[in-house]
Amino acid sequence: MRSVIVGAGPTGLYTAIALARRGHQATVIDRDPGPGGGQWWDRKGVMQFHHPHHFRQQVTDALLAEMPEVWDGLLAAGALPAVTPGQFGVPAGLHCRRLTFERVLRSAAEAEPGVRLRTGHVDEVCSEQGRVTGVMVDGHQVEAGLVIDAGGRAGRLTRALRGPAAGGDCGAAYVSRQYTMLPGAANGPVNAPFGVIENYPGYTVAVFIHDNRILSVLIARASADHPLTALRTRAAFEAAARAIPALAAWTDPGCSRPLTPVLPGGRLYNSYRGQLNDAGRVALDGLIYAGDSVCTTNPVAGRGVTTSLLQARRLIDLLEEHGRDYVSCSLAFDHWCAGHIRPWFDDHVYWDADLVRRGSGQDVDLTRPLPPDLIMAAAPADPEIAKVVEPYQAMLALPSSLDAVQARARDSYATGWRPPVPPGPTRDELAGLVGAAAGSPDRPAEDAALSRAGGRAAPSGLAEGERVGLGARVEEGDLEGAVGNRAGLADELVQPLFGHHPAALVVDVGPVRRTRRLPVKQHPVSHRGSWCGRPHDQVQVAGVEAVGDLPAGRVRRGGLLARRPLSRQRPVVEPQLRRGRVDVRLVRYHAAGRSEVLGALVAGVVLR
Ligand SMILES: Cc1cc2nc3c(=O)[nH]c(=O)nc-3n(C[C@H](O)[C@H](O)[C@H](O)COP(=O)(O)OP(=O)(O)OC[C@H]3O[C@@H](n4cnc5c(N)ncnc54)[C@H](O)[C@@H]3O)c2cc1C
């Protein structure tokens, strides 16, 4: 059977290898061309690629069950098995960067006889009489009887065929930075399988141990906490890392040195979308969704690759069971996801909403069930609670397992007990010190040197995926990090392209003959060549939508409608973006010509 898998992330690669070993011919298509020969990988479409990942035991189990050579390859590449602190020898997954994980998994897929990796953008799922016949990739059809959409959280390919996603913004944002331990330096203290986590009222910090003595330091804040956005500057991040003991123990210049600039994260959200369409039916016989394309959860609990590979394993079994009856396979998979994956999504939605509430200064609410973080926080003081919490934390028991200790934990909180706060600055002290530090001059030359040395995030803020700028087929996944850290977007993305003049968005999709000049011009005329004679395409704007809470709140959700560009007319972005003002207005002339909708994001505005 010929199958196409859209997306060469963990879900797509794992599924392809496993299917090939069961006799399928699997073509994996991703717009990212792969790592190339160097140390770094400018991964397209996955904004979290260089942010910290911990791979749980379920991921290890999945590899050992289907492709043990990948596990061996990861260890050979410097990854380390993780253990649960205080429980000697209890395995808890893998210490590894996402870059290392994907590189090794991808090599295994490349070596697998039944798998073919292809670079390209999947534009459309093709079908006849309700049955999948393949996909269109850059204008060419690739035939397949089965298409698995493993396009991740930002993939848009099949959205129109599916019911709406449940969920929404997590209310959290984060920045991270990679460090490398100095020769001979000892690790700092740990309190979690992945390294360290400390929760303060108003912010959370973590250290993730990776492969090859590399680690990531992470600081998470409420996304509404604007003073803490300053953490994205190097000086503020370093000041915070010095002031927070759990981070200082790992980032002291005597034990480690930075490997990357500070990497701002993109939008964090919880979403769940099943296999069925609006009418509650399977939209196409032979089209199945898996991985983050089904469920995305707040990364603070590091559950995403686990829920993805659990799905992949179940789907592979169901495909074996149901043969070519893909409709019944989709239905069975949907049912299984509803029982085994959706509970993790629901868990995060409840947890995150309560965190946002408490982040605004409110106390524990004893009139409603306690969220999981409060139950977990009560565990160290009560072995009965700990017994129930441990399997939940390890994702060996579903969130409903916590119901057994709800009452017990609530009794603790009812006495007035609250989880102890670790040593370190309060949220207000942190805001004060990062605010003061953010005013000091940045050192772009050092960031550039870090970038050249391997940690190639763009200077002053944009993570590597965001620097694709307005290349062909810019998608949400490429730019969402920039929008998540709005302050940086105007300078890094919009200004260099639009300058201080109104300009239309023209995206080059042809080969660039002269690379010295940007493929963007200020007043392009529809259906004419670009100003340096290169082939080019134009963006046709079908609509404009505000994303989240925009800078200075001047552009409100839905508030753009009155001024939205009409289909086949181009948008113009006015200057002053840096001053918290984003303006989109119609161009009276030059309707856009032959075009594809590229879904570019401009300063918190999605152009469709
Ligand atoms: C900040 C952050 C930190 C995280 N930390 C952790 C962690 O510690 N542990 C953990 O387990 N999980 C973590 N996760 C979640 C984890 O990253 C995801 O669960 C994982 O990436 C899902 O894999 P996937 O293969 O389903 O999708 P993805 O990794 O998103 O891959 C999808 C691929 O499909 C491609 N694609 C999409 N559409 C098309 C198209 N039309 N044509 C061609 N290619 C296409 C994309 O370019 C991409 O390469 C984190 C997530 C975030 C946001």
Is the Cβ–Cβ distance between 596 and 540 less than 8 Å? yes
Task: Looking at the structure, tell me whether residues 407 and 383 fall in a common domain.
Answer: yes
Domain containing 259 equals 172-267+423-438
Task: Looking at the structure, tell me whether residues 53 and 186 fall in a common domain.
Answer: no
Does residue 488 have a pLDDT over 70?
Answer: no
> DSSP 3-state assignment of 219?
strand
Q: Does residue 122 line the site of ligand 1, with CB under 6 A? A: yes
CB burial of residue 113 (10 Å; 0-12, 13-18, 19+): exposed
Is the Cβ–Cβ distance between 481 and 463 less than 8 Å? yes
**What is the arithmetic mean of pLDDT over 354-368?**
93
* 350 pLDDT tier (thresholds 50, 70, 90): very high
Residue 250: what pLDDT? 97
Mean pLDDT (the chain) is 79
For residue 9, report the distance from its CA to the centre of ligand 1, in Å. Answer: 6
Residue 576: what pLDDT? 34
Lowest mean pLDDT among 28-42, 200-214, 510-524: 510-524
Q: Does residue 45 line the site of ligand 1, with CB under 6 A? A: yes
End-to-end, the C-alpha distance of the chain in Å comes to 35
Torsion of Cα atoms, 455 then 457 then 463 then 467, to 10°:
-140
> DSSP 3-state assignment of 243?
helix
Work out the widest C-alpha separation in the chain, in whole angstroms: 75
More confident residue, 536 or 315: 315
Task: Looking at the structure, tell me whether residues 318 and 408 fall in a common domain.
Answer: no
Can you give the C-alpha Rg of the chain in angstroms?
Answer: 24
Strand partners, 134: 126, 143
Task: Looking at the structure, tell me whether residues 587 and 484 fall in a common domain.
Answer: yes
Q: Give the Å distances, CA to CA, from 567 to 17, 586, 608.
A: 42, 10, 9
Task: Looking at the structure, tell me whether residues 80 and 134 fall in a common domain.
Answer: yes
**Positive or negative torsion for Cα 322, 326, 331, 333:** positive
225 belongs to a structural domain: yes
Task: Looking at the structure, tell me whether residues 72 and 145 fall in a common domain.
Answer: yes
348 belongs to a structural domain: no
155 belongs to a structural domain: yes
Residue 579: what pLDDT? 39
Task: Looking at the structure, tell me whether residues 8 and 146 fall in a common domain.
Answer: yes
**What is the arithmetic mean of pLDDT over 137-163?**
94
pLDDT over 70 percentage in the chain:
72
Does residue 27 have a pLDDT over 60?
Answer: yes
Task: Looking at the structure, tell me whether residues 64 and 149 fall in a common domain.
Answer: yes
Residue with the two structure tokens 């980032």? 251
User: Which residue from 30, 125, 296 has its CB within 8 A of the most atoms of ligand 1, so it is best to mutate?
Assistant: 30
As a whole number of angstroms, the distance between CA 232 and CA 244 comes to 16
Does residue 586 have a pLDDT over 90?
Answer: no
Nearest CA to ligand 1 atom 35: 7
* 244 pLDDT tier (thresholds 50, 70, 90): very high
Nearest CA to ligand 1 atom 20: 305
Q: CATH code at 281?
A: 3.50.50.60
User: What is the identity of the amino acid at 376?
Assistant: M
Q: Which atom of ligand 1 is nearest to the CA of 7?
A: 34
Does residue 80 have a pLDDT over 50?
Answer: yes
Close Cβ partners of 546 (under 8 Å, ≥ 6 residues apart): 555, 556, 557, 558, 559, 560, 604, 605, 606
Task: Looking at the structure, tell me whether residues 69 and 136 fall in a common domain.
Answer: yes
As a whole number of angstroms, the distance between CA 367 and CA 179 comes to 43
SS3 of 279-338: the string is CCCECCECEEECHHHCEECCHHHCCHHHHHHHHHHHHHHHHHHHCCCHHHHHHHHHHHHH
Is the Cβ–Cβ distance between 296 and 47 less than 8 Å? no
* 455 pLDDT tier (thresholds 50, 70, 90): low
The pLDDT tens digits for 530-547 are 333 333 444 444 444 444
358 belongs to a structural domain: no
Is the Cβ–Cβ distance between 321 and 313 less than 8 Å? no
347 belongs to a structural domain: no
Lowest mean pLDDT among 42-51, 364-373, 383-392: 42-51
Does residue 479 have a pLDDT over 60?
Answer: no
Instruction: Please state whether beta strands 146-149 and 166-169 pair in parallel, antiparallel, or not at all (unpaired).
Output: unpaired
The pLDDT tens digits for 393-413 are 999 999 999 999 999 999 999
Q: Does residue 15 line the site of ligand 1, with CB under 6 A? A: no
Residue 452: what pLDDT? 57
Backbone φ, ψ for residue 165 (5° rounding)? -75, 145
Q: Does residue 216 line the site of ligand 1, with CB under 6 A? A: no
- In the chain, how many domains are there? 4
451 belongs to a structural domain: no
Does residue 237 have a pLDDT over 80?
Answer: yes
As a whole number of angstroms, the distance between CA 501 and CA 520 comes to 12
430 belongs to a structural domain: yes
Nearest CA to ligand 1 atom 44: 30
Residue 443: what pLDDT? 65
**What is the arithmetic mean of pLDDT over 31-44?**
87
Does residue 511 have a pLDDT over 60?
Answer: no
For residue 526, report the distance from its CA to the centre of ligand 1, in Å. Answer: 36
Task: Looking at the structure, tell me whether residues 35 and 151 fall in a common domain.
Answer: yes
Is the Cβ–Cβ distance between 439 and 412 less than 8 Å? no
Task: Looking at the structure, tell me whether residues 333 and 233 fall in a common domain.
Answer: no
Buried b / exposed e along 427-466 (16+ C-beta atoms within 10 A): beebbebbeebbeeebeeeebeebbeeebbbbbbbbbbbb
Does residue 260 have a pLDDT over 90?
Answer: yes
Nearest CA to ligand 1 atom 22: 292
More confident residue, 595 or 53: 53
Q: How many helices (H) and strands (E) does the chain have?
A: 17, 28
449 belongs to a structural domain: no
Nearest CA to ligand 1 atom 3: 299
Does residue 477 have a pLDDT over 70?
Answer: no
Residue 39: what pLDDT? 79
User: Which residue from 57, 135, 157, 308 has its CB within 8 A of the most atoms of ligand 1, so it is best to mutate?
Assistant: 308
Close Cβ partners of 487 (under 8 Å, ≥ 6 residues apart): 229, 232, 461, 551
Task: Looking at the structure, tell me whether residues 143 and 227 fall in a common domain.
Answer: no
* 348 pLDDT tier (thresholds 50, 70, 90): very high
User: What is the identity of the amino acid at 291?
Assistant: G
User: What is the identity of the amino acid at 421?
Assistant: V
Nearest CA to ligand 1 atom 31: 9
Does residue 446 have a pLDDT over 80?
Answer: no
What the block records as the tokens of 307 is 């829920």
The pLDDT tens digits for 557-577 are 333 333 334 444 444 343 333
Instruction: Please state whether beta strands 2-6 and 25-30 pair in parallel, antiparallel, or not at all (unpaired).
Output: parallel
As a whole number of angstroms, the distance between CA 9 and CA 45 comes to 10
Nearest CA to ligand 1 atom 28: 152
Does residue 2 have a pLDDT over 80?
Answer: yes
Nearest by Cα to 186 from 241, 255, 248: 255
Q: Does residue 29 line the site of ligand 1, with CB under 6 A? A: yes
Q: Which helix (H) or strand (E) holds 109?
A: helix 98-111
Residue 451: what pLDDT? 61
- The CA-CA-CA angle for residues 2, 7, 11, to 5°, reads 90
**What is the arithmetic mean of pLDDT over 113-137?**
96
As a whole number of angstroms, the distance between CA 503 and CA 523 comes to 6
